[in-house]
Amino acid sequence: MLHKPGLIQRTFTKFSGDILSDTARITFIGAGNMASCIIGGLINNGYPAACLSASARSNTNLTPLAEELGIATSTDNSAFVQNSDVVILAVKPQNLQSVCEEIRTEFTSRSPLFISIAAGVACDSICSWLQQDVALVRCMPNTPAKVLAGASGLYANDKVDSTQKQLAQSILAAVGSVSWVEEEGMIDSVTAIAGSGPAYFFLFIEAMIDAGVAQGFDRATAETLAIQTAFGASKLAKESLQNGIDVVELRRRVTSPKGTTEQAILSFEHNNLRSTVQQAMDACRDRAQELAKLMAETKA
């Protein structure tokens, strides 16, 4: 699904700086789910389609971007790289090395800012494939970016200057929140909390739907009640935090002593929900580290 311009009215911040003296020209290599979300988010935020371009292996994903959003597209990865201020690497991790090798001769005189959204591929690997220590931001987004409610974690290598950092922040802010990490290794923990996080909530909702059905609801009603409750709780938590009220306080407010909610919470605590979550997130982070090591071993 593409987000058409005009659905959301927000103003995109214009940038100034040595490299980005005007609106930055941004090209995407890879035009699948994530790239389409970010492109749609940028356009919805008022970013000019004329400054955006994308390349991919085939026209399957490029055609809707060209026809519905009016951005320039090509099946040649080198087509836009030379004239771009930002190159967003949005292919699957296993395709990234060949893409880097394909484009590395295109920016001999002036290197753009690279933003990689490929899970588990370290900055060192990308620089090695590009045969240059480029300015590189590593980003771990998540799928709610599709509804402009994503949560991305970003890491910048030491070649990235403050203007480029601000640009990367604004690009990802088009599809949700942005949090920076100081150490590259923490990107694996971003995966554990945000990258994989939506699946944890889907599982929890699924379990609530099944429990609702077991208590006598038809599935559609259980789905409506569980999903709307998750959405409402999340919206309330987000808005309350802006007023200094955290989730602990929100939970306390709905948990009357000897009431119904207290019985459910006691049951969760008795069954070690907190350590279950901790173990699951640790397992996720550890797997992300393992995959990053495997990917690094294929360095050029």
Residues within the interface to ligand NAP (CB under 6 A): 29-35, 55-58, 60-61, 77, 90-93, 95, 98-99, 117-119, 140-143, 195
Q: Provide, rounded to whole angstroms, the least separation between the CB of residue 197 and ligand NAP.
A: 11
Q: Which is nearer to ligand NAP, 61 or 170 (CB)?
A: 61
Q: Which is nearer to ligand NAP, 101 or 206 (CB)?
A: 101
Q: Provide, rounded to whole angstroms, the least separation between the CB of residue 254 and ligand NAP.
A: 31
- CA separation for the pair 138, 113 (Å, rounded): 11
Sheet strand arrangement including 150-156: 72-74, 52-55, 26-29, 86-89, 113-116, 136-140, 150-156, 176-180
Q: Provide, rounded to whole angstroms, the least separation between the CB of residue 299 and ligand NAP.
A: 17
Tokens of 71: 């951005």
Q: Which is nearer to ligand NAP, 12 or 80 (CB)?
A: 80
Residues 6+ apart with CB under 8 A from 164: 17, 19, 20, 113, 135, 137, 156
Q: Which is nearer to ligand NAP, 45 or 196 (CB)?
A: 196
Q: Provide, rounded to whole angstroms, the least separation between the CB of residue 117 and ligand NAP.
A: 4
Number of C-beta neighbours around residue 79 at 10 A: 19
- CA separation for the pair 267, 187 (Å, rounded): 33
Q: Which is nearer to ligand NAP, 140 or 209 (CB)?
A: 140
Q: Provide, rounded to whole angstroms, the least separation between the CB of residue 122 and ligand NAP.
A: 13
